[in-house]
Amino acid sequence: MTTTANPSRNGVDVATLFATLDAVKEQNEIATFQFRAENTWVSGTHSRSRYSGFYGAMQEMEHKHETVVDSDHPAVLVGQDNGPTPVEYLLHAIAACLTAGIANVAAARGVDLTNVSSSVEGDIDLLGIFGLHDGTVRNGYKGIKVTFRIEGDADDATLREIVEQSRSRSAVYDALTNPTPVSIEVVTG
Amino acid sequence: MTTTANPSRNGVDVATLFATLDAVKEQNEIATFQFRAENTWVSGTHSRSRYSGFYGAMQEMEHKHETVVDSDHPAVLVGQDNGPTPVEYLLHAIAACLTAGIANVAAARGVDLTNVSSSVEGDIDLLGIFGLHDGTVRNGYKGIKVTFRIEGDADDATLREIVEQSRSRSAVYDALTNPTPVSIEVVTG
């Protein structure tokens, strides 16, 4: 472990990472982003979202490639199982957000990682969404558990601090653990 | 619009949907589910999740197909843009959950839908995750806005009630708008 910045440590361009932070410090408006998805119902519980554009760094931007993702319910929940359930995408989101942060924080601290993987479990009582309860069962997850396995050229305490720093700066961790306002507009035709 | 159950209204097997609800009423344990994802870091801010198994209806189950999804940060956020950002998956999750509910509720109410689509926008100030603020900027979305376009053989008020009923029973809406406990365990190697 060294503290010398390496332009490609963990696949992270550390010099550009710090330059980006400096640019945002100079001009806070660069940090205003809007992410977007376009969803279309296919049939039954099956729908499909596309991601292409977003706003950030004071301009409209496009992802390098459009991404298409499907959701459905499995047969046991009366769907056709054409993709993971919507709630399963939350599990990917939290793992991916924490993992990206881990790679960035480790790179900034001069730690070379060799492996980061995680298992995510979300426990949910569907009595909530079925409405079959006396008001005591929530619709969403009772809890989500993320188990990380992390290896790199740093001691146990340092690796744990990297995960903790990632958690403390994670957008998805905040979005899930604290209330996020969601507004719904309806246009009928 | 009729109120006669149709086994394939909106692609929803209404008879099986009601039979499933009856079965859960009889035996609440059927509703205990655990969803899972396995995430592996690839490089930099790029990671990949796989979905295959889950627990539900008192047994281990497998999705019909394994699904693999990637996340990365775009170049403007010092990534390689190998997929949508983690926070963008939250936008798919909320749209897909509400849409699945809309199809189910409409089918149960005897409404034939012809089109459901939605645009989702999530506004976020990245000063939060960059830590460049005085404690006033959250890490996650300031707010998420979902705009539905819905068409079917029912009047405006009925279509709006269907969306509202879906919202009130949505697992992802609850997970985002109310605090969801997330625990993180770390195993170092």
Chain A neighbors of B76, CB-CB under 8 A: 56-57, 61
**Predicted pLDDT at B1:** 45
Measure the CA–CA gap between A41 and B132, rounded to whole angstroms: 39
Q: Minimal Cα distance from A140: which residue of B? A: B171
**Predicted pLDDT at B44:** 98
Which of A71, A74, A159 minimises the CB distance to B96? A71
Give the closest residue to B144 by CA, choosing from A40, A181, A50, A86: A181
| pLDDT tens digits along A147-168 | 999 999 999 999 999 999 999 9
**Predicted pLDDT at A18:** 94
Contact A99, B44 (CB under 8 A): no
**Predicted pLDDT at B135:** 86
Measure the CA–CA gap between B90 and B189, rounded to whole angstroms: 31
**Predicted pLDDT at B7:** 66
| pLDDT tens digits along B47-63 | 999 999 999 999 999 99
Contact B67, B121 (CB under 8 A): no
| pLDDT tens digits along A49-86 | 999 999 999 999 999 999 999 999 999 999 999 999 99
Whether the pLDDT of residue B37 is over 50: the answer is: yes
Chain B neighbors of A145, CB-CB under 8 A: 182-185
Give the closest residue to A49 by CA, choosing from B19, B95, B134: B95
Q: Do B143 and A179 touch (CB under 8 A)?
A: no
Task: Provide CB contacts within 8 A for B113, sequence distance 6+.
Answer: A41, B10, B102, B103, B106, B150, B151, B152
| pLDDT tens digits along A24-48 | 999 999 999 999 999 999 999 999 9
Which of B69, B113, B124 minimises the CB distance to A69? B69
Whether the pLDDT of residue A129 is over 60: the answer is: yes
What is the mean predicted confidence (pLDDT) over B33-49? Answer: 98
**Predicted pLDDT at B148:** 98
